[in-house]
Amino acid sequence: MNSFIKELEGQAFRKIGRASDMCWISFGKTIIVKDYKGNDVEKGTYALHIQCPWRIIKNSTQKLLLTSNDIYEPSSNLQWTEEFDWDRMGNNLFDENVKQWNDENGIYVLNVDISQLGDIRINLSNGMTFESFLNISTDDEAWRFFKCNSKDKHMICSGLGIVFE
């Protein structure tokens, strides 16, 4: 099970983004695939989709740099009001802070570990660590790891464990 996601070791950390409140991370070489509209889009060889709490830590200072909760916080140029629309691209702290990650080149995965509960830890070459942790006890999906543009099975983790589908 762990060997499947270990394929990330040595791969480039390409890009991080979101689809609504689901975080996605792209790893590996750049490939061109068709999106759901039939348009060519750039992706990485591998993808990790995360729907549970996660964070990126600067190891030397133990400072939190980016977290799953940042999606619900207004960007620095906005104030929180009842009308705050976190889902509008660019409105939230995640969208503001993720730019530094996507502008930095040469980051690669040093190692990956998955706990028995399904928590993920990815150590990166720039002295940062990505961590996710399960906070669900049902069969709802917490995260999914897969090879893009491939018919290979996806590694899917829920509160009930990890399966390959």
Sign for the CA dihedral angle at 130, 113, 148, 11 comes to: positive
Question: How much is the pTM?
Answer: 0.92
User: Domain boundaries in the chain?
Assistant: 2-164
Q: Give me the sheet containing 63-67, strands edge to edge.
A: 63-67, 54-58, 128-132, 120-124, 109-114
Give the C-alpha separation, 61 to 142, whole Å. Answer: 28
Residuewise pLDDT in 10s, the chain (165 residues): 578 888 999 999 999 999 999 999 999 999 998 888 999 999 999 999 999 999 999 999 999 999 999 999 999 888 888 889 999 999 999 999 998 778 778 999 999 999 999 999 999 999 999 999 999 999 999 999 999 999 999 999 999 999 999
Give the C-alpha separation, 88 to 21, whole Å. Answer: 11
